[in-house]
Amino acid sequence: MAGRDLESTAKAIVAKGKGILAADESFPTIKKRFDAINVESCESNRRAYRQLLFTTRGISEFISGVILFDETIRQKADDGTPFVQVLQRQGVLPGIKVDQGAKPLAGAAGEKITEGLDGLRDRLTEYRELGAHFTKWRAVITIGDRIPSQYCIDANAEALARFAVLSQEAGLVPIVEPEVLMDGDHTIQQCFEATAATLHSVFNSLFEHRVMLERMLLKPNMVLSGKACPQQANVEEVARETVRCLGRVVPGAVPGIVFLSGGQSNETATANLNAMNALDEVHPWQLSFSYGRALQDPPLKTWRGNAANIQRAQQAFHHRAKLNGAARYGKYSVEMEREPVAERA
Ligand code: 13P
């Protein structure tokens, strides 16, 4: 794509000390987040909240890109500046979620397939014109009784590869997100196996679909114990097993791996990423973050829909981003959680 170098964009997104803010909650998901703080999910509240995040001063020190939702990429700040421009002025790359959600997979009870391939080529052209530099597609894999099935894994891998090659054709860097959910009582070993099987199938499909691995990013889950598993793996084990799993199946041509937080607490998501980056071993990819909940919990809970709280909410967001920025270097410590939040937002 003329004027666009996808490899440089992919590298810029995983620049040292930086990661992604996932702010691409669909209508049902943002409603769930707003319900938790007693705020109505209407267009003006969603706009006000996203404006709060995007206008936080100094955020580009730790945030390289923001994933937007279809509604958000078309919205403007109070002064009429499109959000895309607000981000660009901050030095942050705008991206866009292009899947249309995970639906029940026919013939596979309890499993899901992500929809959104129909008409995708035209939607990608429009998003590029609106200023997007990268795209995201999330597939959901569930661990349970005799699942995930190979059928579900392969069907999702195929869709991810179709999405990725269409994105590259449109001049957009695809973020390929196969999420093995942490819901359930499975062990970390079961998560390891499901994650390895999923990523193996995903890279097989990406190869068959002629996706250029240098021009994409992978957004996987970390290898964790299921939320309800009585035996919870500690930070060191999660870091070791996650990097061991990725090492087996993720080609070195992929410039970066940007983890989702997936329901981990803010502190745990930061500590796990930090531990991976503090490991001695050498690996070919940058290990970074693309967090939704683990970056937004503090600002959301501070804001609570009240304009008087905006500045404090921005400080909370800036601080969380800063801690994850430190985790990119393996330099985060729990003490940093308690440091006074700078009056800068
Ligand atoms: P979480 O970090 O909240 O899992 O969200 C990341 C994301 O983009 C899910 O698609």
Closest-CA residue, ligand 1 atom 5, reads 292
Return the exposure string of 54-79: e unless at least 16 CB atoms fall within 10 Å of the residue's CB, then b: bbbeebbebbbbbbbbbebbebebee
Nearest to residue 55, comparing CAs of 297, 321, 311, 308?
Answer: 311
Closest-CA residue, ligand 1 atom 1, reads 292
pLDDT at residue 239 greater than cutoff 70: yes
**Model pLDDT, residue 340:** 79
Q: Which residue has the tokens 């421009």?
A: 85
**Model pLDDT, residue 343:** 52
pTM of the model: 0.97
The answer for residues whose C-beta is within 8 angstroms of residue 297's C-beta and 6 or more apart is: 266, 320
Answer whether 290's CB lies under 8 Å from 22's CB. Answer: yes
pLDDT in tens, 30-66: 999 999 999 999 999 999 999 999 999 999 999 999 9
Ligand 1 in contact with 69 (CB < 6 A)?
A: no
Q: Which among 218, 293, 295 is the best mutation to test ligand 1's pocket, defined by most ligand atoms within 8 Å of the CB?
A: 293
Answer whether 142's CB lies under 8 Å from 112's CB. Answer: yes
* CA of residue 295 to ligand 1 center, whole Å: 10
Ligand 1 in contact with 260 (CB < 6 A)?
A: yes
What is the topology classification, in CATH, of domain 3-333?
Answer: TIM Barrel (3.20.20)
pLDDT at residue 345 greater than cutoff 70: no
User: What does the alpha-carbon distance between residue 144 and residue 147 come to, in Å, rounded to a whole number?
Assistant: 5
What integer best gives the mean pLDDT of the chain? 97
Ligand 1 in contact with 218 (CB < 6 A)?
A: no
* CA of residue 3 to ligand 1 center, whole Å: 30
* CA of residue 303 to ligand 1 center, whole Å: 20
Q: Which among 33, 259, 290, 296 is the best mutation to test ligand 1's pocket, defined by most ligand atoms within 8 Å of the CB?
A: 290
Nearest to residue 18, comparing CAs of 64, 55, 84, 54?
Answer: 64
pLDDT at residue 180 greater than cutoff 80: yes
pLDDT in tens, 98-115: 999 999 999 999 999 999
Percent of the chain having pLDDT more than 90?
96
Question: What's the pLDDT band for 342 if we cut at 50, 70, 90?
Answer: low
pLDDT at residue 3 greater than cutoff 60: no
* CA of residue 257 to ligand 1 center, whole Å: 14
What three-state secondary structure class fits 144?
strand
User: What does the alpha-carbon distance between residue 321 and residue 61 come to, in Å, rounded to a whole number?
Assistant: 9
pLDDT in tens, 285-341: 999 999 999 999 999 999 999 999 999 999 999 999 999 999 999 999 999 999 877
What contacts 24+ positions apart, CB below 8 Å, involve 119-126?
A: 120/162, 120/163, 120/166, 121/166, 121/169, 121/170, 123/98, 124/98, 124/166, 124/167, 124/169, 124/170, 124/172, 125/170
* CA of residue 69 to ligand 1 center, whole Å: 12
Ligand 1 in contact with 318 (CB < 6 A)?
A: no
Q: Which residues are catalytic?
A: 177, 219
